[in-house]
Amino acid sequence: MPPLVSICVPAYNAAPYLRQCLDSALAQTFRNFELVLVDNASTDDTFAIAAEYARRDSRFRLYRNGGNLGPKANFNRCIDLAQGEWVKFLCADDWLEPICLAQMLAARRPEVLLVVCSERLVFCEKMPETERQKHLEYWADHTLLSRRFPGQSFIPAADFASLVAEDPTFNCIGTPNAVLMHRDAFTRFGRMNPNLVHHDDWELYARVAVHTGLCYVAEPLANYRQHYDSLGTYLVHEHRFAIEVISALIIRYEVAYASVYEPVRNAAIAHNPPINLRHQLVDFVRQAGLQAHEFAFDSSRPDSCALADWQKVIELYPGLLATPAGYYLEKSWSRVKNGLRRLTTAARSRFKNIPIVAR
């Protein structure tokens, strides 16, 4: 009989942190799981360490890619190899609390394909205080679920779709460590978008949750390690434009046009005031075209890939250059309304300062 849960660990050059990661997985109080680790052609001791654990525990299933597939493809390979009804992601440099699986499984509801827990941010010792504060501020800003839905252990699909409509690029769920996903989610909604350099995990979770909602455990059951050797740190330094601009643009395009995001577009129409996601997209595309040159020729931190990345995304998504019907009319009317609002405000201010003369 297959296990109820597959803990999936995609790994690449994770030797310094892997033992803590695997120890935390094998120490789970819930025992009916398998651990699937796929080594993405590491050049350090990652595979040797994993093999040591596999020899000690029969629940451990170890694989090694013949060549490096890239992070997203390796995540997807873990999913393909998983046999459990539920898939629990665990990054190889992070770790889980012992009660993580038990608590997340206890939070399940019928027909809900996604369970999310809170996470704890942990820093490497060498990280300066200024950088720590920057990460902490970002982390605090993005822990939106507990603030938007205080005390709720279930967030309905319609409510989550409304949240996504307000900003489709705002990751309010967290890292892969925070997620337990039913395997039916991958059958119905697919895998991570291979065109996304950043927020590929968030986009997948959002794609699922706008249809089924999600169960939420506010207790921090996973630990996310912020350090200089992480994939995210590398991408920030080497592909700034792709991370800061292009990934968000692709997500906005998918939300505006892909059939799977129809619940978000319906929520946007019902929003007060209504949100026109396709018109918003036009504005972001125009801004991105200018930013491509700014990133490429930034005197302090030039991104040598910016212009090529911009050309690539236009080729992948030619619809980005389309202007939907009514866009210019809406813009003109918006300018008229803003002009009238400024005139009204100025008039009120002027009449307010006119002294009243008694007769």
For residue range 74-106, what is the model confidence (pLDDT) as tens digits?
999 999 999 999 999 999 999 999 999 999 999
285 with 231: CB under 8 angstroms?
A: no
How does residue 22 score in pLDDT terms, banded at 50, 70 and 90? very high
Relative orientation angle of helices 200-212 and 247-257, to the nearest 10 degrees: 20
Please determine, for residue 162, whether its predicted confidence score (pLDDT) is greater than 90: yes
Lowest mean pLDDT among 49-53, 122-126, 253-257: 122-126
Please determine, for residue 285, whether its predicted confidence score (pLDDT) is greater than 50: yes
DSSP state of 245: I
How does residue 10 score in pLDDT terms, banded at 50, 70 and 90? very high
| pLDDT given at position 206 | 97
**What distance in Å separates the CA atoms of residue 156 and residue 284, rounded to the nearest whole number?**
29
Please determine, for residue 332, whether its predicted confidence score (pLDDT) is greater than 90: no
DSSP state of 356: P
| pLDDT given at position 136 | 73
Q: Which residues of 218-250 are buried (b: 16+ CB within 10 A; e: fewer)?
A: beebbbbbbbeebeeeebeeebbbbbebbbbbb
Lowest mean pLDDT among 1-15, 51-65, 342-356: 342-356
Please determine, for residue 356, whether its predicted confidence score (pLDDT) is greater than 70: no
Query: What's CA 320's distance to the chain center, in Å?
Result: 21
Joined tokens for residue 287: 């801004």
| pLDDT given at position 125 | 72
Which amino acid, residue 152? Q
| pLDDT given at position 137 | 77
**What distance in Å separates the CA atoms of residue 78 and residue 276, rounded to the nearest whole number?**
37
Q: Average pLDDT of 173-190?
A: 95
Could you tell me which of 111, 90, 113 has the C-alpha nearest to residue 101? Answer: 90
Q: Which residue has the tokens 């609390």?
A: 97
CATH hierarchy code of domain 1-103: 3.90.550.10
Please determine, for residue 342, whether its predicted confidence score (pLDDT) is greater than 80: no
Q: What is the pLDDT of residues 108-127, one digit of tens each?
A: 999 999 999 999 988 877 77
Could you tell me which of 193, 169, 189, 192 has the C-alpha nearest to residue 8? Answer: 192
How does residue 139 score in pLDDT terms, banded at 50, 70 and 90? low
Please determine, for residue 228, whether its predicted confidence score (pLDDT) is greater than 70: no
- DSSP-derived secondary structure for 284-312: HHHHHHHHHHHHHT-SSS--TTHHHHHHH
| pLDDT given at position 122 | 85
Pairing verdict, β 86-89 and 5-11: parallel
| pLDDT given at position 359 | 47
Q: Average pLDDT of 257-262?
A: 98
| pLDDT given at position 328 | 85
Which DSSP helix (H) or strand (E) runs through 267?
A: helix 262-270
Could you tell me which of 173, 271, 150, 154 has the C-alpha nearest to residue 212? Answer: 154
| pLDDT given at position 353 | 58
267 CB contacts (<8 Å, ≥6 apart)?
158, 161, 162, 164, 165
Percent of the chain with pLDDT over 90: 77
| pLDDT given at position 5 | 98
Please determine, for residue 68, whether its predicted confidence score (pLDDT) is greater than 60: yes
- 3-class secondary structure, 124: coil
Please determine, for residue 231, whether its predicted confidence score (pLDDT) is greater than 60: no
DSSP state of 244: I
Please determine, for residue 235, whether its predicted confidence score (pLDDT) is greater than 60: no
Between the alpha carbon of residue 277 and those of residues 151, 167, 252, 269, 281, the distances in Å are: 30, 10, 8, 9, 6
- DSSP-derived secondary structure for 130-198: HHHHHHHHHHHHH-HHHHHSTT-SEE-HHHHHHHHHH-TT---S-SGGGEEEEHHHHHHH-S--TT-SS
- 3-class secondary structure, 92: coil
Q: Average pLDDT of 18-41?
A: 98
Q: Average pLDDT of 185-207?
A: 94
| pLDDT given at position 133 | 77
How does residue 297 score in pLDDT terms, banded at 50, 70 and 90? very high
Higher pLDDT, 123 or 251: 251
Please determine, for residue 344, whether its predicted confidence score (pLDDT) is greater than 70: no
How does residue 357 score in pLDDT terms, banded at 50, 70 and 90? low
**What distance in Å separates the CA atoms of residue 168 and residue 254, rounded to the nearest whole number?**
9
